[in-house]
Amino acid sequence: MSTRDTMELKEETIRAQYEAALGMVFGFDHAPRLAKPLVVAPAVERSPGVGVRPTFRSTVPGMATRSTARPGGVRLSERIEGLSDGLVSPVQAAVLNAFRRSLAIALAMGETFSAQSGLAELKKANLEGRVPDARRAEFGELLQGEALVVLFTFANALAYLIAPHVGPGTVELGEVEEVLTDNAPLALQGALWELDQDIGALATDDAKLVAVVSAFAEALMKKVQIRAENGARTSVFTAGSWKVEADGLTIAGFKPAKAAKGGSIVMAFKSPHEVVGNHIAKYQSLRLAKMLMAYDFERRLNPFAELGGFIFTFMGDGKPGTGKTTLIQMMAGLLDGYCKVAGYPFRYQNFSIDQIDSYQGKSGQNAKAFIDAVLDPSVIGFGTIDDIDQVAGKRGDRQSSAGQQEVTAVFMQAFAGAGTVVRGNCTFGMFSNYPENVDDALRQRAGARFLVDGPQSREDYIDILSLLLGKNHSIPVGEHQLFAAQEIRKAVAASFEGYSKPHEEGLLKVWDRVASDIGPLDTLAKMGAYLKAIQQADERFTGRAIKNITDAVKVRAMDFELPDEWMEEPDLFLFKPYDEKLAMIRGLMTPITVEMVIQEINRYADSEFRYADKSDAVAIEAMVREFGRTEEAKRRYLEGKG
């Protein structure tokens, strides 16, 4: 949405720069100053008589002049064409078009900055050799400011234009080094030289080409932002904003514009009826998928996040084979379908053990890139961390690698750090068969707990047998109504009621003792006494646990599912203004009850006791094995000595 002072960067001004932009794409000479070459320039033979486009070189500070010499050194077009087998692919053509368009936009922005800042007059005076001595310092500072403006606008426009072609793959480029600010043409040449080097070193196919270009644009923007903070003369640029109507791009100082990232998800989606058992986990996943869709892209906030009933992080734990992967496939499938109907960009990312690297710092960088991709406020994001007990190291555990420890630190900061902002556009799910092996502080950053215990009842086992057998048989079902037990409302109500008393033996003892001392937990004071008793039994039950419980209670207060028709017809809810969506959600909320609070206390505390019991049992078994080895070693040692 444009601000009141947004001006139009006219299309004719941009198109007037197309020839200069093409000259840069087809070729120019550049001797690197700050960065080291990674690859040699592509050597492409040309038939005699085949002409080339003119190139441009900077010979006077602040000015570009035409050269008809054959392009040399940097030939982006040939570099990209070298990835094809003779014909330029549609993706390669899109990248080349993005180069030309973003360069033209940057040059047009540079002209605008030059005219509004007084730099144009100084350039003219410089050509005529009449710049006053008193203004030479100002002239140099304005040239540097123009270089930063042009560089950032190029990177910003390139990232914006290439975004629809970006897939799920990523590349690691590191910091952009060839950032030259003598003048705008030289600045662009330095950036294009380094981009050409990165493409030559890392782009092996179309997907990698797009990933490299996108990553370079993002890295260049960050580098220029830092440079611009050091008092450069860019106030003309930072004080206003410009709209490129044809592309829908708004240039607002050194702030990146965001476009919908593309890339289809390669996943075998599951429908809700294919998730057998796991009633509470399935119900919460269904609701969370619809909650995410309430996100308002204009306000960059979700009404559920404002009301306190949004699940930002959750942990799904259960034995192997109980349905964690199926649950992920179901939720990702729902979000993918909802987003396609609404026309929203959806991004699914998974962080797995193969992203733990032996190089120091690389694992942390991979984790940060994963977090940033899912947090991107311009998309609906769903991030999963499968087998988090293997991915994130337990602090103090000598078996954990340095890379795993880095990942733990990144996740803890991202999920509940000082700078964590929950907008409600994304959620992170941590899944594990052995949650007792997850660092206690990291595990407690999971605001909700999804117990993934698989099929439980006789009806569940009949349903899953029928589902997995498929239809290529004629075996009668017998006395059973298929999938009736999976009716979500009925099953969930029964599951929640089951937590009116704890399940874990250790917690049940605390419950019985408190109940016998103070009677039914029907007041806040009595419930607080129960919480204190839990803390005395398990010192890891801290204030963060209370926050997670109250968040879960607030979610229960929104114990409603947004109607399916709201997802199928976006105008009914999704496309309404933020305040109207907020009012519609408020109208569906239910009051918080004593039963809700007690059930959520027991659900959360049960999971902590379950983890603690398993963790202690595993530690004891390990010590027993170690003592046994020690005794056996002593026996063999004494026998050998005797």
Give 344-374 pLDDT, tens digit per residue.
888 888 898 888 877 778 888 889 988 988 9
- pLDDT at site 483: 67
User: Is there a domain that residue 145 lies in?
Assistant: yes
Distance CA 421, CA 415 (A): 9
Distance CA 149, CA 224 (A): 9
Distance CA 244, CA 252 (A): 11
Distance CA 392, CA 577 (A): 40
- pLDDT at site 640: 77
Distance CA 389, CA 436 (A): 8
Residues 287, 247, single domain; the answer is no
User: Is there a domain that residue 308 lies in?
Assistant: yes
Residues 244, 279, single domain; the answer is no
Average pLDDT over residues 98-125: 91
Residues 276, 178, single domain; the answer is no
- pLDDT at site 262: 47
Quickly count: other Cβ atoms within 10 Å of residue 605's Cβ.
27
Strands of 51-115, DSSP E: 55-60, 63-67
Structure tokens at 436: 């007792």
Average pLDDT over residues 138-153: 90
Average pLDDT over residues 142-156: 92
Residues 65, 213, single domain; the answer is yes
Mean pLDDT of the chain: 82
User: Is there a domain that residue 285 lies in?
Assistant: yes
Query: pLDDT grade, residue 468 (50/70/90)?
Result: confident
Closest CA to 281 of 323, 242, 310, 312: 323
Residues 237, 308, single domain; the answer is no
Residues 220, 299, single domain; the answer is no
User: Is there a domain that residue 637 lies in?
Assistant: no
Could you give the number of structural domains in the chain? Answer: 2
Domain that includes residue 490, residue range: 272-621
- pLDDT at site 486: 61
User: Is there a domain that residue 631 lies in?
Assistant: no
Highest mean pLDDT among 54-63, 112-121, 618-627 belongs to 112-121
Which residues sit opposite 251 in a β-bridge? 242
- pLDDT at site 103: 95
- When mean pLDDT is compared across 54-68, 167-181, 573-587, the lowest value belongs to 54-68
Residues 344, 450, single domain; the answer is yes
User: Is there a domain that residue 244 lies in?
Assistant: yes
- pLDDT at site 13: 93
Average pLDDT over residues 202-210: 88
Distance CA 144, CA 228 (A): 10
Structure tokens at 515: 């109940």
User: Is there a domain that residue 225 lies in?
Assistant: yes
Q: What is the pTM of this model?
A: 0.54
Distance CA 447, CA 444 (A): 7
Average pLDDT over residues 75-86: 85
- Cα separation values, 354 from 324, 362, 437, Å: 19, 12, 19
Residues 243, 365, single domain; the answer is no
Place of tokens 């250790």: 506
CATH of the domain at 551: 3.40.50.300
- pLDDT at site 462: 85
User: Is there a domain that residue 638 lies in?
Assistant: no
Residues 26, 104, single domain; the answer is yes
Q: What SS3 class is residue 558?
A: coil
Place of tokens 């498929």: 470
Residues 127, 27, single domain; the answer is yes
Residue pair 258/281 in contact (Cβ under 8 Å)? The answer is: no
- When mean pLDDT is compared across 59-73, 245-259, 268-282, the lowest value belongs to 59-73
Task: Examine the pLDDT at 18 and tell me if it is beyond 90.
Answer: yes
Q: 248: which residues sit within 8 A by CB, 6+ positions away? A: none
Residues 245, 276, single domain; the answer is no
Residues 187, 296, single domain; the answer is no
- Which percentage of the chain shows pLDDT scores above 70? 85
